[in-house]
Structure 1
């Protein structure tokens, strides 16, 4: 009969985990190669890692923390759109770990606390005046605080309610509403509607509409948008059939062209 102590020791040895050697991408690649592979240089990867570090470490505290590697794996996936490319790069992790790293990092980046650090619509008079001044300098169009538009992000055909994700161009997508400033910085974003939903409906159901119509945004602020949006006191859309020179000039302004994606 086997000695109990020997049996326990053998069981511990069987259960002991072995870890593959991880790559040090900062030692292997210079900034040019990092940009090519991950779309960010060393400083950018470190910055993203710092942003999500606390949220990722709380999920990996039972194992070896993967924070920098998780960010690098996720950036590689987002840069290529190919899961197998992350495996081919051999980060020293298993395929399940790669899948988990991507999922957890994207969840961390999409956390409202993280998003609010970078995406925030101006509310104070000072913030609004700054945005208006920036647009005035670029477009000579007064009162504009941001430009609104919808953009379709292509997705893989979903298994549930597949048909509602087919947009007017006949591919599957998410219709994302975006408001951006004169420097193309995102001020507001809604990314939860399937591709078949039009821009006007997304706006009608959004908190952005409430902000303007319940006067949480100072008066005299305008958002130019394309003809897919309804014309409102605060939402400027182009004339469909301009009749005067003034109307034609309005339609051809830099701000209105920007909202049409020209």
Structure 2
């Protein structure tokens, strides 16, 4: 392993999960686990490589025809909006100032970031992912540059649809809300209301993702390549946890930005407990790959 201290795979997983789940520095993580800083980085890189090479293609997949019919029914159960199989949106992940072309990564809010664009199912599982465009690039431009732009209709079996907000262009397979010009009819307002209540699935998915993997709240790396790997791996793990029936604590955790000492200790205990559950889940999947 090029100098990596001999550590069992479970320990490497735990180190990586801690790295992804917290905003601790590499030095602090190394102190917590009693290893060198280089070991933390090498453990992270090894696990990320396994996740992206072996687990991404298994757990991030476009729904089959049968699954689309199921998604259509589950989305429609919310308010009757028919033929929907996903919700699309983009979010920007803060990163440190990149070494190359840093200005292109500055988004409209003024910080360096990388664009994550995704489509999710009714249960917040990602069915399509793209990571890598600089934060200054508009959501619609990202979509137009993706393969999905040309094959979206075929992917939706010529009859289903994905919902997106007004930042995206209207397509036969991609439905956006009516622009509010102050003269919307009652029917158009009702459409927008139902549209919004379905589209919230992708907003909740991003909230869940960032609530669990708090590294994504401020990904302190100057390497765009490393940042993309971390973001994509977090999305894969997000899907694994949902498939395994893990609980959603993102809303609970986000309610407390400045907890008192007692609550802070409670949250730390909860996160340690979650990591133990996550470790068991992920160990099973990693072991299948390594055997």
**TM-score, normalised by the number of residues in structure 1:** 0.70
> Who wins on radius of gyration, i.e. which is larger?
1
Residues 257 and 108 of structure 1: CA distance in aligned 2, closer, same or farther (over 3 Å) = closer
What is residue 10 of structure 2 aligned with on the other side? 68
2:69 is matched with which residue: 124, 129, 134? Answer: 129
What is residue 157 of structure 1 aligned with on the other side? 97
Asked if structure 2 preserves the Cα contact closer than 8 Å seen for 1:77 and 1:85, the reply is no
Residues 98 and 259 of structure 1: CA distance in aligned 2, closer, same or farther (over 3 Å) = closer
What is residue 184 of structure 2 aligned with on the other side? 243
Query: Aligned equivalents of 1:141 and 1:60: distance in 2?
Result: 55
Structure 1 residues 163-208: Cα deviation after superposition (integer angstroms, max 9, x where no partner): 1111111111111111011111111110111101111111111222
Asked if structure 1 preserves the Cα contact closer than 8 Å seen for 2:156 and 2:173, the reply is no
Query: Aligned equivalents of 1:176 and 1:219: distance in 2?
Result: 26
Query: Aligned equivalents of 1:100 and 1:256: distance in 2?
Result: 38
**TM-score, normalised by the number of residues in structure 2:** 0.63
Query: Aligned equivalents of 1:190 and 1:96: distance in 2?
Result: 29
What is residue 257 of structure 2 aligned with on the other side? none
The higher relative CO (CA closer than 8 Å, separation ≥ 6) is in 2
Residues 205 and 105 of structure 1: CA distance in aligned 2, closer, same or farther (over 3 Å) = same
Deviation at 1:107, TM superposition (A): 2.4
Residues 81 and 205 of structure 1: CA distance in aligned 2, closer, same or farther (over 3 Å) = same
Q: Flag structure 2 segments of 5+ consecutive residues without an equivalent.
A: 208-291
Q: Which one has a larger percent helix, Structure 1 or Structure 2?
A: 2
Q: Flag structure 1 segments of 5+ consecutive residues without an equivalent.
A: 1-58
Cα RMSD after superposing both structures = 2.3
Query: Aligned equivalents of 1:234 and 1:105: distance in 2?
Result: 36
Q: How many positions carry a matched residue from both structures?
A: 200
1:114 is matched with which residue: 46, 50, 55? Answer: 55
Deviation at 1:257, TM superposition (A): 5.0
Q: Secondary structure at the match of 1:156?
A: coil
